Amino acid sequence: MTTAVPHAAGAGARAARRAILVLLVAAVLALVALAGAGGAHAAVGPTPPAPPVDPAAPAAPGLGDSVTVGINGINGTPSSSIVVLLGITLLSVAPSLLLLTTSFTKILVVLSLTRNALGLQGVPPNQVLAGLALFLSLFVMAPVLAGVNDAGVQPYLDGQLTFTQAVDAGWAPLREFMLAHTREEDIALLTRAADAPNPGTPQDVSFQVLAPAFLLSELRAAFIMGFVIFVPFLVIDLVVSAALMSMGMMMLPPVMVSLPFKLLLFVLVDGWGLVVTSLVGSYTGAG
């Protein structure tokens, strides 16, 4: 029993020494690692700023780097967006073109003078007269519009002409129509007012001169037709007024008595048909 105790004590002492040795080695390794990390951290210092780099020269623009907007569609035809834009633009200036370059103004003025000659203030209404004048203008201008479509619009939509070429080609039929119904005196008047040289040929007349000259000629022709329409109705008014004065009926308005006679005369001679025939014939050469 006495010999086993010193043996067990010696084994415990050796185990304790090994544990202490392991702890010492671990502590030494930890100190070495901390020292190395501190040294490495101390060795890393602030990095000096890099010098500025000169800017690179701009590169030449290429097809792949540029932004382009195409106005042509397939096979050189105008794109649908451009066609829609041109259509909206045309609709915005359509009233001015209708008044300055077509027969609408003359027809509307003659119809209005006819209504006034009859002594009617609101019959037919203005909307009816304007609608009748519009459709008569389309009837008169149908050959011109067909020429504009064939010469300028369709070739442009097919890609055969550029926009400028299409405008020049489509302007030719309308120019011929306007020149055929414009007096030389009105063209000379507008040319002198603009202080422009006299045009050598009809094709040299600019749109700025031709449009107002055409409108002046149309108004003159409309007033001449209105005077011719007024004369027979004025005769009826004079006869009725003289008859009422001779009978001493001065308090009775002559218009109330003459109006039925004027309406009867207008219906018997087919007045609206005569007026419309004269208006259309003044453009077709049949009037």
Q: Does 148 fall in a domain?
A: yes
pLDDT of residue 42: 46
More confident residue, 95 or 59: 95
* pLDDT surpassing 70 at residue 78: no
Per-residue model confidence as pLDDT tens digits over 158-210: 878 887 888 888 888 989 999 999 999 999 999 998 888 888 888 888 888 89
pLDDT of residue 12: 65
Element (H, E) at 265: helix 254-268
* pLDDT surpassing 90 at residue 109: yes
Q: Does 61 fall in a domain?
A: no
Compute the distance between CA of residue 135 and CA of residue 138 in angstroms, rounded to an integer: 5
* pLDDT surpassing 60 at residue 220: yes
CB neighbour list of residue 286: distance below 8 Å, 6 or more residues apart? 280
Q: Does 25 fall in a domain?
A: no
Q: Does 67 fall in a domain?
A: no
* pLDDT surpassing 70 at residue 239: yes
Q: Does 127 fall in a domain?
A: yes
Q: Does 65 fall in a domain?
A: no
108 is in which domain, residue-wise?
75-284
- In this structure, are residues 216 and 187 in contact, taking their beta carbons and an 8 Å threshold? no
- Residue 204 to residues 175, 199, 230, Cα–Cα distance (Å): 11, 5, 39
Q: How many domains does the chain have?
A: 1
* pLDDT surpassing 70 at residue 40: no
Compute the distance between CA of residue 284 and CA of residue 120 in angstroms, rounded to an integer: 30
Q: Does 117 fall in a domain?
A: yes
Alpha-carbon dihedral sign for residues 135, 136, 139, 143: negative
C-alpha count within 13 angstroms, C-beta hemisphere, residue 265: 16
- Mean pLDDT in residue range 75-96: 70
Confidence at 133, pLDDT banded by 50, 70, 90: very high
Confidence at 74, pLDDT banded by 50, 70, 90: low
Mean pLDDT of the chain: 80
Q: Does 205 fall in a domain?
A: yes
More confident residue, 88 or 233: 233
